[in-house]
Structure 1
């Protein structure tokens, strides 16, 4: 009889442990949906990537500026965007500000990897879409967007970017800039709250 009680107690403990084991990850994952403290491209640039991706896919080493033609992430940017960035960087240099690149052109493989990382980090595809686009819709894959590092550069562009046709596109991504030629005369267009509001992302 005592043996049956011991066996029964072990079964009950195993069931409780199994139930708690499945519940704990679910409760802890909800806290990961808070706004990010840093851009995913910056995380990846510092080595948070896996596999065989490298500079040829658009990963950017530390200290790269908009003038570094040997780095594919810079060299493969749209020529008009790159020209505007370099003109703006020359203007910013007079104020002691330098334009460092966290991310620019990206290969499809790199963009897919960033999206997978975002889904893992934020817990769902819908939440990840607020920060990382698919390879089919990302302006980084076509070379039409750049993510700039260091707050002094983005602060300078917030005040002067429109003069060069450079505009922040998303309110939640202060580092992400694209070329809008009409901004030189009319100012930058209204920002989207995040990429999910951008019609280009609905393809």
Structure 2
């Protein structure tokens, strides 16, 4: 009987040691696993990647240097209101006799481009209220509708300030000497009184 007891005791020790070894291995494996928060979740595995914002280009109305009112291949020019473009070209042809050329800084703009300009203006001027004095929203901007053009070079804007009404081309805002729109009634009656800036324009209140 004592021999049997000894064998049982030895067997119990072996089994106990095996159980302890298995438990120690599992504890070591668990301690090396990444924390639960770092493990991928079902939502993260199926989340759509965020598309990077693409900067507007010429197709949105961005204008490279040297574009004139005669450059039909540029969307900023080609997408202007046909009557406005016709008046601009008539004026440009006559201005050429005085060695003045009409370069376009900005014309038609896509809503995306207009929104980018507004974001940049808010960052530059520090508030939406101040930015509104210079840049309209995509919903109210006459550039988005193709009804406005910003001309470069002071000789062109000086020429239009003197002769623009003859073509129905009028400066609209006192703080933007480059911004012109078509006012056909100006041909017989002169251009209307300018607004101090776009915030005074009823069209911007929509």
TM range, smaller chain: 0.7 to 0.9
Matching residue within 179, 186, 191 for 1:188: 191
CA deviations over 1:40-81 (Å, ceiling 9, x no partner): xxxxxxxxxx83310000000100000000000000000000
5+ residue gaps, structure 1, are: 1-49
Question: Structure 2-normalised TM-score?
Answer: 0.74
Q: Secondary structure at the match of 2:150?
A: strand
How many pairs were matched up? Answer: 154
Question: Structure 1-normalised TM-score?
Answer: 0.75
Q: Could you tell me which residue of structure 2 aligns to residue 108 of structure 1?
A: 111
Which ranges of 4 or more aligned residues in structure 1 deviate by more than 3 Å?
A: none
- Distance in 2 separating the partners of 1:188 and 1:131: 21
Q: Secondary structure at the match of 1:201?
A: helix
Q: Secondary structure at the match of 1:105?
A: coil
5+ residue gaps, structure 2, are: 1-52
Larger Cα-atom Rg = 2
CA deviations over 1:156-189 (Å, ceiling 9, x no partner): 0000000000000000000000000000000000
Q: Secondary structure at the match of 2:101?
A: coil
Matching residue within 87, 91, 99 for 2:90: 87
CA deviations over 1:97-153 (Å, ceiling 9, x no partner): 000000000000000000000000000000000000000000000000000000000
Kindly report which structure 2 residues correspond to 1:26-37, keeping only aligned pairs within 5 A, or say none: none
